[in-house]
Structure 1
């Protein structure tokens, strides 16, 4: 079967790098949505807790419930169907309509649309939103935005930051007028965080960087991070593939001479993206995945009892013309996790 190994030393290295940049681990909120980007929600949350992280970010209430006891504050980004009450949970308000869906005394963070134009409340609706929060007797505990181009060489990051700062000042003014506490402000994701030399907001939402990757233009002074995840698979069977014989669907790979090959228990049914035999991919030991990846298995030119399929997904991201996030997040939740 397949398994995922999580390297705690690498994870702590990444958190230390982030902490050093921010100046305090209290300013780190680890983003654990979508099964911690495929790494395992509970496993990563437990390591973050051990390191001393107090804030987390998830997508749904169900995710938050699984890690409720591990953090002091959990921001829920995309769920207003409140079926669980916890003082730990803070719900993101993405629209004025969201305010009407929430029960009294819910902790909320306003999401401000600073220019991504995907989710969030516009500047001209902020006052209406805050009055709505008061009317519904919700607790305004945070305000945030999300940057659309922090990973690219452009001035858009600073344009959005300027818009957010305008919203921040307006929210502070309104809170003072209405005699309610000023909320926490946060805006940086992983890419934005390392482009800011002095991050002066209350905390940052750190996603992919904690897992060892940063898909930011190499022109920036990016930190050295260490991938946390490696994917392994057990052997099913070994055989001799004779010269000119082909293996797998479509016979995409043909042996140039007699060779020993083995089939291993992992495939695209486990979320390992389907290699189609057009581009060569080598495992960390230098073995080649032969031909097309099947739903539940793949063939490799070795006979090891278990093999590491990857310990760094950047090469796979290039082959599939995508980002590191997609390679890791695609891995299925059923794959067992082991922390070393």
Structure 2
């Protein structure tokens, strides 16, 4: 199964860049959903707390409970019902019907659809939703949206920003009429944060940038972030592969000469997306993964006791024709973590 190594220095480097761009640590909510993008929920939450981050975003109530003591505010994105209460928890509300399922005094962040057309209430439902919050005796603590094109060169980003700005003004007017305190407004994800020249929202929800990547078009001046995770494998066995012998399923790799090879304890069963031997992949030290990756192991032209499989997933994302999020988030959450 190998191990995941978390580089604390790189994480703090990224959080420092993010905090300065957002105008303070209190303006940053670190996104920890899906096992902190494969990095380990408790490991990253603990380090973020040590750095001084006070807000977090998770997917489920179970995730929130595990890190409750580490943050002052935790936004839960996908929980329609809540069986426990905490002043720390804030529930994302995607539709008006969801309001009826929440117990009194629950903190809610209304999600508004500004153009992504995935989740969130429509603009014309805004008044109804806020009145529903009052009727259900809920606490209106936040209003947010999500950008569909903050990472690409497109006017859609500014179109959604304009929509959200208009909605914020409407919310302020409704709250004034109902004598409600203003909620916290937030829309910026990682790419949006670094596209906004003068960040002026209550906080940013920063996911992929925390972990050292930013999938924004290269035309933008992106910060120099550092990948936080590296994946390591431990040697199982070593052999001499003779010239002409083929290794692994299908025998797609044939030894061009007598060579030393070893198998290591990482495979696609651990969430390391399967390499099929059609694309050459070299580890950071220059070793080659030979042939097809098996469920629980892979072969490398090395006899080192441990091998770093990757310390940057960009090349793997290119090989698999996917985004770096997927390479990271797919890793098995049971892989042991080590913080250095």
Q: Which residue of 2 aligns with 1:202?
A: 202
SS of the residue 1:92 aligns to: strand
Aligned counterparts of 1:321 and 1:114: Cα–Cα separation in 2: 29
Q: Which residue of 1 aligns with 2:20?
A: 20
Q: Which residue of 2 aligns with 1:162?
A: 162
Aligned counterparts of 2:296 and 2:73: Cα–Cα separation in 1: 39
Q: Which residue of 2 aligns with 1:306?
A: 306
Q: Which residue of 1 aligns with 2:33?
A: 33
Q: Which residue of 2 aligns with 1:281?
A: 281
Q: Which residue of 1 aligns with 2:213?
A: 213
Q: Please state how far the C-alpha of 1:83 moved relative to its aligned partner.
A: 1.3
**Alpha-carbon displacement from aligned partner over 1:33-79 (angstroms, at most 9, x marks no partner):** 00000000000000000000000000000000000000000000011
**Alpha-carbon displacement from aligned partner over 1:148-176 (angstroms, at most 9, x marks no partner):** 01111100000001001111111111001
Q: Please state how far the C-alpha of 1:305 moved relative to its aligned partner.
A: 0.3
Q: Which residue of 2 aligns with 1:271?
A: 271
User: What does 1:1-340 correspond to in 2, within 5 Å?
Assistant: 1-340=1-340
Aligned counterparts of 1:90 and 1:302: Cα–Cα separation in 2: 50
RMSD of Structure 2 on Structure 1 (CA): 0.5
Aligned counterparts of 1:230 and 1:149: Cα–Cα separation in 2: 29
SS of the residue 1:232 aligns to: strand
Q: Please state how far the C-alpha of 1:22 moved relative to its aligned partner.
A: 1.4
Q: Please state how far the C-alpha of 1:81 moved relative to its aligned partner.
A: 2.0
**Alpha-carbon displacement from aligned partner over 1:248-299 (angstroms, at most 9, x marks no partner):** 0000100000000000000000000000000000000000000000000000
Aligned counterparts of 2:339 and 2:112: Cα–Cα separation in 1: 37
Aligned counterparts of 1:98 and 1:339: Cα–Cα separation in 2: 39
Q: Please state how far the C-alpha of 1:243 moved relative to its aligned partner.
A: 0.3
Q: Answer whether contact 2:291 2:299 (CA < 8 A) is retained.
A: yes
Q: Please state how far the C-alpha of 1:18 moved relative to its aligned partner.
A: 0.6
SS of the residue 1:302 aligns to: coil
SS of the residue 2:195 aligns to: coil
Aligned counterparts of 2:145 and 2:116: Cα–Cα separation in 1: 9
* Aligned length in residues: 340
Q: Answer whether contact 2:246 2:255 (CA < 8 A) is retained.
A: yes
SS of the residue 2:100 aligns to: helix
Q: Answer whether contact 2:23 2:199 (CA < 8 A) is retained.
A: no
**Alpha-carbon displacement from aligned partner over 1:80-133 (angstroms, at most 9, x marks no partner):** 221121110000000111111101000000000000000001110000000000
Q: Please state how far the C-alpha of 1:21 moved relative to its aligned partner.
A: 1.0
Aligned counterparts of 1:53 and 1:229: Cα–Cα separation in 2: 19
Aligned counterparts of 1:124 and 1:83: Cα–Cα separation in 2: 30
TM-score normalised per structure 1: 0.99
| Divergent runs of 4+, >6 A | none
SS of the residue 2:92 aligns to: strand
Q: Please state how far the C-alpha of 1:23 moved relative to its aligned partner.
A: 1.5
